[in-house]
Amino acid sequence: MQNDVNQDAGEQRRQSIQRAIQSLMHACQCKDANCRLHSCQKMKRVVAHTKSCRRKTNGGCPICKQLIALCCYHAKHCNENKCLVPFCQQLKQKLRQRRLQQRLRQAQMLRRRMALMAGNQYEARSNLAKGG
């Protein structure tokens, strides 16, 4: 029963984030100053706030934090080369760098394991040759 409630809450959260991302994408592309979508006007105000906010640099503004988190969700799945969503290009670049660093670390760990295994096999052979 509890698991169903958690799944429903997770699904509702996912849908809410998806709606917010769609509103953000619409607002960033919308040129109509009198757009009738309430979410468009609201998102345009949030984006405008973030552009002029002085507290965002040290993470002190909850509005900016929320918008940046939303932009992060968006950037993870965005395939546009010239996306108009704020911070999208920079976030995609950071995500690419993280993936590259992660691949490099994994390759390094694999090389270490292989070297360790090769060393252990060498020791086992030399012990057998010694009669041990």
Co-location of 107 and 47 in the same domain: no
CATH number of the structural domain spanning residue 36 = 1.20.1020.10
Amino acid present at 97: Q
Task: Looking at mean pLDDT, say which of 55-64, 96-105, 113-122 comes out highest.
Answer: 96-105
Co-location of 69 and 40 in the same domain: yes
Co-location of 122 and 96 in the same domain: yes
The mean pLDDT of 84-107, rounded to a whole number, is: 95
Co-location of 75 and 100 in the same domain: no
The mean pLDDT of 63-86, rounded to a whole number, is: 94
What range does the domain containing 113 cover? 87-132
Co-location of 79 and 116 in the same domain: no
Co-location of 69 and 93 in the same domain: no
CA angle 14–76–40, rounded 5-degree value: 60
Measured CA to CA in angstroms, residue 55 lies from 63, 64, 70, 88 at distances of 10, 8, 18, 20
Q: Convert the pLDDT of each residue in 29-62 to its tens digit.
A: 999 999 999 999 999 999 999 989 888 666 689 9
Q: How many domains does the chain have?
A: 2
Co-location of 20 and 54 in the same domain: yes
Q: Which token pair is 127? A: 């012990």
Distance, in Å, from the CA atom of 79 to the CA atom of 25, rounded to the nearest integer, reads 13
The residue with tokens 């917010």 is 20
Co-location of 25 and 65 in the same domain: yes
Co-location of 6 and 70 in the same domain: yes
